Each structure stands twice: as C-alpha cells, then as structure tokens.
Structure 1
Amino acid sequence: MTSLARRGVLKCLPVAAGAVVTGMAASPQAVARQEADPSFPQPEIRRTSPRTGRLETRLTVGFTEQVIPGVGTVTTRTYEGAVPGPTLRVRPGDSLEITQVNALPPNAETTNAETTHAGATHAGATHAEATDQDMNVPHHFNTFNLHTHGMHVDPTGEADNIYRTFEPSDTPGSTTTYRSRFDVPADHPAGTFWYHPHHHGSTATQLLNGMGGVLVVEGDIDEVPEIAAAKEVVVCINELKLSGGRVPDLTSHGAYDGIISTFLVNGAKNPVLTIAPGEVQRWRVVNAGAITAHFLSLRGHELHQIACDGITLMEPVATTGLTLPMGGRVDLLVRGGKPGTYKLSGGGPSQTLLTLVVTGDARPMSLPTSLPGRPTSLPEPTRTRTLTFRSYENVFSGAFPNAYRILGDGETPPADPLAGRRDLAWGRLAADFVNQRVRLGEVEEWTVVNDSHAHSHHPFHLHTNHFLLTAVDNRRLATPVWHDTVSIPPNGSVTFRLRAEDFTGRSMLHCHQLQHGDEGMMQIVDYVR
C-alpha cells in the first residue's frame, strides 16, 4: 500500500466563518490528562492490548433511556447504552474484533399504503411489500451492520462489509449476535475515524438516534513532541431528532420536518471545557450527524488544523473557520487565548456545541512547525469520470415522493425508459448493478457535480480509499487535500484524483446526507485488479 500517511476533507477546508475542533491519538499521558478534567465528558475508551495486538470488544445495540440535562428524558437506540458509543483505539497492524449484539425488538411491518411508491400502492400494502417494489424506501429500522468510516480496510467478508445485515430476533426480548473483524494494515495512517451502522434503509434513523462512535488509529503523529504534550479531547457531535423524548422512524419523507435538531457533544448538551491561557489542546472533532453540516466557529481564537478525515497535513494550517460535513472529521490544535468564556458554535451561529472557559495561570506551550503528513500529489490520470448528484421533487406517489439520483458515468439505467423522471430505478441504488469498476493502482480523475436546487447538501463519501481533492468549482486548490467525505457546493462541483489500493471487492459511494442515501443516492463501487 502506498503510504496513506494522511488525508484531508473538503469540509475541512478553511472558510471565513467559524473554526472547528479536532484532536489526535492519545498517548497514556494524554489519557491521564483527560481523566484529570472530569467536568468535560469523554466517551469510554477501549484500546488494543499491547501484548496481543488485538482489541476484542462487544457492542450491544438496544433502546436506552437516559436523562440528559437541558434536554430531558430520552429513549434512543444506542451502542452500549450511551451516546456516543465507546471510543475504540488501535494501532497499525492490530486486529479489531467486535461481537455485535442486536437487542432491538423485531422489525415492525407497517400496514399503510402511504409508505409505498407507485407499483405497490394497493390497499393494505405493507412496508415490506413497498421495499420489494423499491429497495430505496426506508425500512427495517431495527436492522443494522457496521461501517468503519474512513478506514482503509477490507470491504468484504466480516470486515467493512456494508452489505451484511444484522437482523434482530423474531422473538421479542431475545437477541442475535454477529461478528466483525478488521485487520488494520501495518502502514495504515494514524488519525481520527469513526464507526456507525450502514444498513441501507435504516442508516439515517439510527444515526439520528445517536448510534456512532469514534475510532482512533494511533501512530506517528502522536510522537510529534508538541502534540504528545497536548491534552487530547474527543469532540463527537451527535445529532438527535427528538419528538416526545424519542426519534421517529423515517416512515415518510417529512418525518423529521419541523423537528429541531438536538446537538450533543459526547452525549451532553453544551458541556464546559477549560483551558489555561497559552495551553495547547488537541481536539478530535467528528460530525456524527446524519443531516446537518457544521459551520464551526470559536471566537477570539485562531485554530491550527493538523489533519482532516484521518490524514495528517504536511504542516499545521492556521484558520479562523472551517466547515465540517456529515461524516467528516478534523483534527486541530487549540491554544487558549485571553481569560474568558467562548462559545463553539456549529450548524448555525445560534447553535452552541460547547463552551470553552479560558482560566488559571498561563501555560505557554509550543506548536509544531512540521508534521509527518501524506504528500499531496498523484500522477496524471489515465481515466476520467463525471458524476452528477441531482434530486427531483414530487415524482413518486406515496410517502417518499422525491427522487435522489446519481447520474452520469455509471448511472443505474431506467427500468422503463418511457417513465422518464418517474422511473424507480434510474440513477438510484440497485442491488444487482455495479456502477463503478475501479482498477487498483490506476490514477483516475473524477468530477462530481451538484445540480440539485431544493436539496443543496450532498456530501460525497467514498468507502475504502481516500481521494485527493484538487479543485472546487473548477478552481484549482493551491494545496490539494486528502478526503474521504467532501461537500459538493450547491450548483457547483469538486474534482479529485483517486488511486485505489490493496483491497478488491464491492464497496460503495453515496451522499452522506443519510436520508438521501437511504432513499437511493448511492452507487456500488467494485475494486478490481
């Protein structure tokens, strides 16, 4: 595998608005410093045994009731009874072995003609029958699987295989058990990744319940002296769509319309973090939401970006603002400014994610001047592809009237060419159609266009491999950035180069506005030799 040392994210590109937070892998000293500041919540940490090089753990998914100050009593689907789930920490060359327990109740079969599209709208049609007609009707909200977002690991078998299904038991009160194993390559980049369910049809609902957790690969970046000296802080931003203390299932297109998002950081609403003047902290920020991009801002502070999407930069980049798409991650060094209270806002200027209090005696700390980053160049491409993300309003009957399509090279063909934009198959995910065959080792250049008007948020996410962003809206970047998730500007485009490596098999690309993904804005990618 060519050195995957680090990559960046489009949404990690600085913008003149706000600042994002992030962090990197934790040394034992950093963990000790985390524990010394109990006022700011941190997810439970589960790490590889240094003796065996294996992390064997269990993730149980079930409904959990929690009392969240400032929110109230909520009952949501969770990993291990918490939002977010535990932080998993591994090193290159380790194996991650997860036993997953589905403790959710059996899937309900909704009898309601309104849940169907054309072709299954007869009276008494069930949600299951609708899915038989159109797999892109959200369904089976208690079925899940596991995706290690951003990880360069095998997309097949028991690894990062999002085509698996972890069904609940047919007997209420019983559980089912599934196993996943991820072998982390010896040259895997150190950085911030995350895990979440990825069963087609239920992903948006489950993430909006808070299902997700941080996955850290420790390595070379952690040994940079200035970074090793900094306190590490995980900032996992979950988005919940709560109504009456629960998250409704996505049984109609407008199920979440009118429900204001509740944003939690490490399971708390607006937690307070302290920092001394001059102290440097290392923040790992993960946007674990399904619907909202964060335009992050921390007034009075210049933030120093060191990585995006798990890929380290060649040197820190000072920024006053940054946008983080759904699924994106960013790593920053934050230096405490003048004593006072500051708000980290995201999702809009009125949304406070956390409060930073600068207090205490000054602790002058240094910033690094260089980093062990991944070079930002690839050879000239031997192939080009163009994809267009496009949505159509009110083209289907039933509860899901909109069509979210990926058109252009490799588009899914229509089932009925005469149906036009009302065709159920055209440009949407089809289980038996491979949209993109990508040959390992070849350099390609892709242009991805967003020409949707009413639905402007279309983050592009590619599984298994990172890509090198070279241009936005046909304007070349002065320094290309590595990504696995990038926002496509409304009525704009992104251009990137891709060299897939190491792993063959079926994987995926899709819109990471996950309601769009569940409704068909996805494609099958087959990596071949």
Structure 2
Amino acid sequence: MNRRRFLGLGASVLGAGALAAVAVPSAARLLGEGRPGRLLTSGLELPPPFQVPLPVPPVLKPVGGDATGDRYEIVQQVARLEILPGVKTEAWTYGGSWPGPTVVARSGRAAVVTHRNQLPVPSVVHLHGGHTPADSDGYPVDLLLPVGSSGSSGAMAGMAGMAGMPGMDHHAAGKSVTGERTHTYPGHQRAATLWYHDHRMGFTGPGVWRGLAGFHLVHDDEEAALPLPHGDRDLPLMLADRAFAEDGSFRYPAAGDDEPGVTSDYMNGVLGDVILVNGAPWPRLDVDRARYRLRFLNASNARLYRLELDPQPPGGDALVQIGSDGGLLEAPVAHDALEIAPAERFDVVVDFSRYPPGTAVRLLNRFGSGRTAEVMRFDVSSRQVSDDATVPEQLSTIEKLDASAAANTRDFTFRRSRGDGWTINGDPYEPGRDIARPALGATELWRFSTDLHHPVHVHLNHFQVLSRNGADPGPYDAGWKDTVDLRPAEEVEVLVRFTDYAGTYMLHCHNLEHEDMAMMADFVVE
C-alpha cells in the first residue's frame, strides 16, 4: 500500500481531522491485521477447558408432509440453559435449545417451516444460504410479532428507535404478522451446510448473541453416493463467542433499552471471552481413530478464527476441505489451518487415525489470545474400529460462471461513516431503497471493496470468487460462496447468477454490529 492510498484510507476511516490528530503508527495499528471487534469480558469465574462433553443439536422431526415436502414447527421461546457448568443463563431460543434444532432437508423436496414467536420481542427468520422466494427470505422489517401483539402499532413498538427511518412505516406495517409465520424453502439447491438465524433490523446482533441460531442441512443424491464420513462421524460444529455477567446472564453492550446497535466502543464488533461450540464452553469429544466430517460454522457476531489442530498430524494437511458455503467443492483442498469469518461454513474431513491412540488433539484459534486461543479438544480413542470412509479426488462438477457473459459490473464499497454507523456506497441502509436491479436469469460481476474488515453476504444465490486485488482467489475462496471475507483495503470480484425468484433481497456485512448499524442494502431481482 503506497502512502497516498494509506492516507486516503485513513481519512475514510477516521475522518481527515482525526487522522491529523493521530500518529501514523496509531493508524497503522488500526489497519494492522484488520481483525475487528472489542473484547467484552465476563463477570464470573470461567470454567476450565475441555471438561464439558460436546453436545450435538437435536434433529427436528417433521410434523407432517406429502409427496413434495415436509412440514416443521419451531417455537421461539425464552429458556434457562446451563451453558456454563452450574450456572443458568436466560436465552432466546428456537425450540428451547441453543443451537436450535437442526432441520435436515433433501434437495428437490420442500421444507415448510412455521415459526411461532413466544419471545418478548419481534423476530425475523433468515435461512442463511437458502435459495428461497423473497417472501420467505427474512427481509429485516418483515417482523414476526410475539403472540398477543396487535397490528402495525405493535410492529412499530417492536422497532423502537427506528420508527423515524425512511420507509419504515410502510414496510413494517405491510409485511408484519402476529404470532406465526410460515417459510417455504423449495429445496432447489445442492447439498450444503446452511443455518437459520434472527435477522431483525437493528437487533440481529443481540438476537443471535442471545441464542437465535440453528443448523439447516441439505442432502442430495450426489453427496450420498460419495464415501464420506456419515452418521455419528458427520458433526455440525457451531462456533460462537459470548460474555457472561456475574449472575450468568449474557452480557451485551446494547446502545440502550430498545435502541438499535451498540455503544460506540463496540461499533466495530463485539467479542466475547468464552468460546462455545454447539453452545458448550471449550468442549471435548471422544473420537475413534477414523475419518470425521466436521461442518464448521462461524456463528460469532464479529470474531474471526484461524483454526488449527495441535499437534498437527505427521505430514500436515490436517484439515481436508470438501465443502464451502454452497456445498461440495470440485476437488478436496488440504489446509494446515483454516480462516473462517462470521457466517462462513467450511466442511472438512479430519483423519484421526493419523494420531497415536490416546492423543489429545486441541483445536486452536490462532487469531485468539489467552482463553480465546483454544476452541475444543478431540480425545483419540485406543479402540480398534473399522472405517470405510475416504475422500475422493473428484467430489463434484461445478459449472464455472463466465465473466465475459456478465450483463453488468457493479461496485459496492463498504465503509465506516463519519458518524456512528457503517455504509454501502456511502449510504446507510434504508428499507425499500434498492442499490441494484439485476435481471432474473442474468449473470453479473459484483466488485466489493472495503476500508476495514467486512465479511460480505449476498442473499438468494451463491456466487463464485473471481479475484482478490486483481489476482487469483484466496486459499479459502473455492467453490460456491454466499459470504466472502474481505480484509482491510481489499477488493474482491465475484460472479453471481440470479435464478428462479424475483423480488427484494439483501446485500450486507455479516459483522452483526456493522449490519445493525446500517451496513446493508436492498437489491431487486426483476
């Protein structure tokens, strides 16, 4: 980065006056590695690591169905959970657990999910990575009001602090419902690790922080025909960091009662000092000397992870990536470490037979320090077991999108505003105002550029990363993606084809504090 570019970036982040008031080394530290967020510490003694067994989220059973699909019901409710040993924490949950129950769907078969809101606040459900019609996508002001709420006045009460925003009165009143909402996910997509979470405008951060997240797994015939690990050796792993108050409740630096966003100290993201996997602090898992499929999901609000096994197996290449946000890669990619930004998913295979019996294998976070540098532990059994799983050299066939066929090239800049907020193309979010209108069936080239660190998420369709800073894609960009990790002062080009469904969808940063403080935009497929 040359001096002119550095000073220009500093001015956009800090403002010209602020840049003049700080030494260049301070600005350099601000940019640095670009990892966002501020640590929020817990007010009670934290448990030692690797004591709690890894929980596996329950699989949700259908309540009915027919030849075309299955019906599910989920009650959003307050529950008191034992997250830290011996301590009860009040959580907002899907179905009374955190993570919520896992929906297991089949490609080509619809999953029809009815949510009933018994929380004290409105909610919005988004199936992240889902290829869905617009009315089931989870637009951030399409509120599901709690049971017993009344009409549009209840909608606006639920959006305290945002009622004066342009477009709010019409959109919140027009699309809000009370008590229950049914989402139809047609299943017109390949096997993939998806997840569902709260998406309420201005309050996604606290909603997810308090527990509103769960897995949604899609399977298909192509994946089933491969000799990959399955059954008990196919594990969804939701990574999240949280902080707790002295009484065991979640700590979160909300801007105020019913106010969207966070206090200014935390506007670049909230980091917790407790690392949770599937809702358990620093858990442990007994594993056979066999291959396991680990479906990593970063469900943290803002924390980045660099995952690494310690010790590394002989020869390295410990984490063999087989899938990304949008499902299987064409061919496996071996990593010694894996960098995962908020909302990204990486499916990897780990062969624990490469370790001697009795080895304790820690999963580390090289981007963490102190307690946040450890994630969980795998204890390798000494039992003799059979393992017929392998990782084929060819996993799938992926159609390569053609940049020369792009109907449009669009630029989207992700920047901090000069006030306490975040912008796309210089504007904070306004519901109902679109930033692009791609044609249904068209392929477009979208170019994302950043000031600081922003994981960028596109709704409706997965995309393919074309380049980073004019060069080849990065080591974690393979396959179909719906979230791409952008580091400071970086530019990434992606190709996306808009298929099947017209309507209004979202483009936003998936640092949830950035999202809540207006780093979102609508696009309309027409």
Shorter-normalised TM-score: what interval?
A: 0.7 to 0.9
Distance (whole Å) between structure 1 residues aligned to residue 178 and residue 430 of structure 2: 28
Displacement of 1:235: 0.6
Aligned equivalent of 2:421, options 403, 408, 412? 403
Distance (whole Å) between structure 2 residues aligned to residue 152 and residue 71 of structure 1: 41
Preserved contact between residue 243 and residue 259 of structure 1 (Cα < 8 Å): no
Residues 71/436 of structure 1: CA separation in 2 closer, same or farther (3 Å cut): farther
1:294 is aligned to 2:295: no
Displacement of 1:179: 2.1
1:510 is aligned to 2:508: yes
- Number of the residue aligned with 1:199: 200
Query: Where does 1:211-230 land on structure 2 (aligned, <5 Å)?
Result: 211-219=212-220, 220-228=222-230
- Number of the residue aligned with 1:338: 355
Residues 272/447 of structure 1: CA separation in 2 closer, same or farther (3 Å cut): same
Preserved contact between residue 228 and residue 293 of structure 2 (Cα < 8 Å): no
Displacement of 1:238: 2.9
Distance (whole Å) between structure 2 residues aligned to residue 343 and residue 265 of structure 1: 13
Distance (whole Å) between structure 2 residues aligned to residue 57 and residue 249 of structure 1: 34
The two structures have a TM-score, normalised by structure 2, of 0.74
Query: Where does 1:475-490 land on structure 2 (aligned, <5 Å)?
Result: 475-477=471-473, 481-490=479-488
Preserved contact between residue 63 and residue 77 of structure 1 (Cα < 8 Å): yes
1:154 is aligned to 2:133: yes
Preserved contact between residue 471 and residue 495 of structure 1 (Cα < 8 Å): yes
Percent of aligned pairs sharing the same letter: 26
Residues 297/315 of structure 1: CA separation in 2 closer, same or farther (3 Å cut): same
Give the secondary structure class of the aligned counterpart of 2:473: strand
Aligned equivalent of 1:348, options 355, 368, 375? 368
Distance (whole Å) between structure 2 residues aligned to residue 89 and residue 315 of structure 1: 24
Preserved contact between residue 44 and residue 86 of structure 1 (Cα < 8 Å): yes
The two structures have a TM-score, normalised by structure 1, of 0.74
Distance (whole Å) between structure 2 residues aligned to residue 226 and residue 148 of structure 1: 25
Distance (whole Å) between structure 2 residues aligned to residue 319 and residue 170 of structure 1: 51
Distance (whole Å) between structure 2 residues aligned to residue 461 and residue 46 of structure 1: 26
Paired AA for residue 41 in structure 1: P
- Number of the residue aligned with 1:461: 457
Give the secondary structure class of the aligned counterpart of 1:459: strand
Paired AA for residue 515 in structure 2: G
Give the secondary structure class of the aligned counterpart of 2:249: coil
The count of aligned residue pairs is: 421
Preserved contact between residue 509 and residue 525 of structure 1 (Cα < 8 Å): yes
Distance (whole Å) between structure 2 residues aligned to residue 40 and residue 373 of structure 1: 34
Displacement of 1:310: 2.8
Distance (whole Å) between structure 2 residues aligned to residue 493 and residue 240 of structure 1: 31
1:308 is aligned to 2:324: yes
- Number of the residue aligned with 2:254: 250
Which runs of 5 or more residues in structure 1 are unaligned?
Answer: 1-37, 106-141, 396-401, 408-425
- Number of the residue aligned with 2:43: none
Cα deviation 1:121-156 (Å, max 9, x = unaligned): xxxxxxxxxxxxxxxxxxxxx221110000111122
Preserved contact between residue 450 and residue 487 of structure 2 (Cα < 8 Å): yes
Preserved contact between residue 43 and residue 86 of structure 1 (Cα < 8 Å): yes
Once the two structures are overlaid, the 10-residue window that deviates more, 94-103 or 316-325, is 94-103
- Number of the residue aligned with 1:431: 431
Distance (whole Å) between structure 1 residues aligned to residue 99 and residue 148 of structure 2: 27
Paired AA for residue 526 in structure 1: V
Distance (whole Å) between structure 1 residues aligned to residue 275 and residue 307 of structure 2: 13
Q: Which has the higher contact order (CA 8 A, sep 6+)?
A: 1
Distance (whole Å) between structure 2 residues aligned to residue 315 and residue 171 of structure 1: 51
RMSD (Å) for aligned C-alpha atoms: 2.6
Give the secondary structure class of the aligned counterpart of 1:201: coil
Which runs of 5 or more residues in structure 2 are unaligned?
Answer: 1-51, 151-176, 256-261
Displacement of 1:230: 7.8
Displacement of 1:324: 1.1
Residues 461/72 of structure 1: CA separation in 2 closer, same or farther (3 Å cut): same
Displacement of 1:382: 3.0
Cα deviation 1:410-440 (Å, max 9, x = unaligned): xxxxxxxxxxxxxxxx511112311111112
Displacement of 1:226: 3.6
Once the two structures are overlaid, the 10-residue window that deviates more, 491-500 or 459-468, is 491-500
- Number of the residue aligned with 2:275: 263
Preserved contact between residue 322 and residue 349 of structure 2 (Cα < 8 Å): yes
- Number of the residue aligned with 2:154: none
Give the secondary structure class of the aligned counterpart of 2:399: coil
Paired AA for residue 320 in structure 1: D
Preserved contact between residue 436 and residue 524 of structure 1 (Cα < 8 Å): yes
Paired AA for residue 464 in structure 1: L
Distance (whole Å) between structure 1 residues aligned to residue 281 and residue 197 of structure 2: 21
Displacement of 1:189: 0.6
Distance (whole Å) between structure 2 residues aligned to residue 147 and residue 269 of structure 1: 26
Residues 103/226 of structure 1: CA separation in 2 closer, same or farther (3 Å cut): closer
1:382 is aligned to 2:407: yes
Distance (whole Å) between structure 1 residues aligned to residue 514 and residue 215 of structure 2: 23
Distance (whole Å) between structure 1 residues aligned to residue 270 and residue 124 of structure 2: 29
Preserved contact between residue 86 and residue 213 of structure 1 (Cα < 8 Å): yes
Residues 167/504 of structure 1: CA separation in 2 closer, same or farther (3 Å cut): same
- Which protein has the bigger helix share? 2
Cα deviation 1:220-245 (Å, max 9, x = unaligned): 21220244588211111233343342
Distance (whole Å) between structure 1 residues aligned to residue 264 and residue 490 of structure 2: 26
1:494 is aligned to 2:492: yes
